[in-house]
A and B are shown apart, each in its own frame.
Chain A
Amino acid sequence: MRTILKKALLTAALIAFAAGAQAKETIVWWDFLSGGDGVRMKSLIDQFNKEHADSIEIQATTLEWGVPFYTKVQTSAAVGEGPDVMTYHLSRLPLGVATGTLREITPEELKAAGLSADNYAPANWKAAQVDGKQYAIPFDIHSVVLYYNKDKLAAAGLLGQDGLPKGLDGVDNFHAALEKLKAGGSEYGVSIHSAAGDSQWRIFYSLFSQQGGKFLSDNGKFLEGDNLDKAVKATSVVAKWVADGLAPKSTDYPASIALFTSGKAAMHINGVWEVPTFTDLAKQNKLGFEWGAIQLPTFFDQPATWADSHSFAIPNRKGKEISPEKLKAVLETVKWMNEHSLFWATAGHIPAFSPVTSSDDFKKMQPNATYSTLAKTAVFDPSSKLAGVASPVYDAAGNFLMPAINGELDPQAAMEQMRDDLDGQTE
């Protein structure tokens, strides 16, 4: 009897051991996160791998953001290659689905993994769907904010009692503030990356939406009717900063950040993902001034800020579909990442997972808490297979909007060309 028991125990132990060894899933993971985002994601992945040492291992590759990343993803999926899971911009989701790059995640699969719409803002969750089918799990909402140099704003009398900037709302007020800052000894009032189409798109889309503009009408026409005028207005605002020397011309991404960190520009418009850059510099005492970040001012009738979402998606690998076991592991990973997204918020983002955003820890986090009001009036890119990161709309921003900002094209002509270019691509 005892030997039987012993044998049974041994067998059970063996089975458990074998099962444990078999169940270790390797997940191939692609992302486009570099800089502060990249460091934070890397430590999340390390933590995940440590906690799942005998069940799941993430093998991560970081590829070049934007067009190179999405090109690789699209062609890989079409030929049955590619990762098990990848980061994906929700703005690009319709395009991704239209090109057959993304795999549907069925309600049953979501349920089995314990992923529920209840934990996400309804609009955010819906943005991960096309025709009612779920293709991604949101991870964050990110936007652009106005970074400012407290010392310079205080000197120019642009800081209120509460320590926050004041008097920046309205096109003319903002322009006057920039001139004041320049007169006060700043080389530029505000630094922007005027040499990057995607960056300009974010500012443009915010200003355009603040006038209630609709970039893509329901009938599939771009900049229809008076929307064209609103687009011209939005473009002219930024073009005037550049023309008047208040914002730098044809400036690259890293250079525009350097202008702000070196104190040459009093303000800076950029994504929330640069928060860690300034936090880290300030921590190392290399910044030389106090900084802050607020929601973009309201230039026109209503507050509105461009926003997008990072999400996790599964590529639709033709002929080499993901296995049920791997899918389970992927969804478990995605869930874990969402549950641990408080750390992701230190990269400036607003987590998509509402249990995190409603936690006290998040509500205390600075400067996120100051600008997180923008989420209420956030505007997302038009839902179209021509829009989103690395899409025809982004290309058009680079080809028409950017030259207009830098004075190489007249705003009116630029917007008309942009409209015609995009309308020409609707079939």
Chain B
Amino acid sequence: MLASTRRAERRSAFILIAPFLLIYLVLFIYPTLKMLELSFTNAPLIGEGDWVYFKNYVRLFGDRLFKTAVWNTGYFVVLTVVPNVAIGLLIALMVDRLKGWTQSIVLAAFFLPYILPVSVVFLMWRWILDLQFGIAQYPIELFYGERVPVFRTIPWFLPMVGLITIWWTNGFNVLLFIAGLRNISPEIYDAAAIDGANRWQLFWKITWPLIWPVTALVATIQLILQLKIFDQVYLFSIGGRSEPTMVLVQYIYREAFQRNHGGYAATIATALFVLIAALSVLQYQVLRARGAER
């Protein structure tokens, strides 16, 4: 190729990547570096602070609330990720059996919640679980014996927010699983059916191993998503005790915006950053290893 065309190619490339690069540098790389810098200072949210070296990090390790937030975030991940994946696969299997317009309608019923803003989900469920007038208090009364102010009762809070989160986000998983199921060739099932395998065996022998890559993908996406949980937990905790159910992003928010501790908030943010990066790498390795076993 001519040197001049190569130069022209580079010039076009530069112009084409420039808008993205500019946004990326100003709104992503710079804030990330700034966050790191801030985490070594005692700055308020807006304004200058003094360099305090590792003081914030030392404090972080002894911080009771930070431990609570890490624990709750982990608890929330456990409450949501595995059930969300399992229920998503279950619904996908159910929906995939249907055909034509019945399938479209049933799929819409499962998927529609996912498309809604979190504020809508929040207002809806707060109403449904309202202590005095909520319709869900009838089944709660029936099984538990009394009405429960679910968002003001600490042991109920995260499991219930988890349940709502599963209801809200499950449609996403269902779609991915359906796409995955459609990639399994029907001939494999036909062959197995001739061998006399029943529904149960078909699932464990064929569907499960073949859908495993999608399962792993959905689990990874969910894990990273739920580690960043804030919206629902924050909204449902308004007016109640927030500390016992505090999650990590909420703690960042509280320190920065409620307590005006920009520096310490940046330290917590950095910790979250490291946590997610480490878990992603770890999970990627584990899933790849398991995938390779087959």
Contact = CB atoms under 8 A, between A and B. Distances in A.
Direct A–B touching, Cβ under 8 Å: yes
A79 interface: yes
Contacts of A65: 239
Contacts, number: 60
A197 B46 contact: no
Contacts of B152: 195-196, 250, 252
Interface of B: 44-47, 131-132, 149, 152-154, 238-244, 257-258, 260
A19 to B, nearest CB: 38
Contact of A250 (B44, B132, B149, B258): B149
Contact of B131 (A67, A78, A99, A254): A254
A64 interface: yes
B131 A399 contact: no
A77 to B, nearest CB: 9
Contacts of B132: 254-255, 258
A68 B243 contact: no
B45 A75 contact: yes
A252 B260 contact: no
Interface string A71-93: 10011001100000000000000
23 contacts: A64-B239, A65-B239, A67-B242, A68-B238, A71-B257, A71-B258, A75-B45, A75-B257, A78-B44, A99-B260, A195-B152, A195-B153, A196-B240, A250-B152, A253-B239, A254-B132, A255-B149, A395-B243, A398-B240, A398-B241, A398-B242, A402-B241, A408-B154
B46 A79 contact: yes
The list of the 6 closest CB pairs from A to B, nearest first, reads A195-B152, A78-B46, A398-B241, A252-B149, A399-B243, A71-B258
Given A78-B45, A250-B152, A255-B149, A399 B241 contact: yes
Contacts of B258: 67, 70-71, 74, 390
A65 B239 CA distance: 8
Contacts of B149: 195, 250-252, 255
A248 to B, nearest CB: 10
A40 interface: no
B46 A195 contact: no
A352 to B, nearest CB: 27
B153 A250 contact: yes
Nearest to A402: B241
A24 interface: no
B244 A399 contact: yes
A166 interface: no
Contacts of B45: 75, 78
Contacts of A250: 149, 152-153
Given A78-B260, A196-B152, A398-B241, 15 more contacts: A64-B238, A64-B239, A74-B257, A74-B260, A75-B257, A79-B46, A195-B240, A250-B149, A252-B149, A255-B149, A258-B132, A318-B46, A390-B258, A398-B242, A399-B244
A218 to B, nearest CB: 25
Nearest to A78: B46
A200 to B, nearest CB: 11
A66 interface: yes
B18 to A, nearest CB: 30
Contacts of B241: 197, 398-399, 402
B131 A255 contact: yes
Contacts of A399: 241, 243-244
A255 B134 CA distance: 12
Interface string A242-262: 000000001111110010000
Given A67-B258, A250-B152, A251-B149, A196 B243 contact: no
Interface string A357-374: 000000000000000000
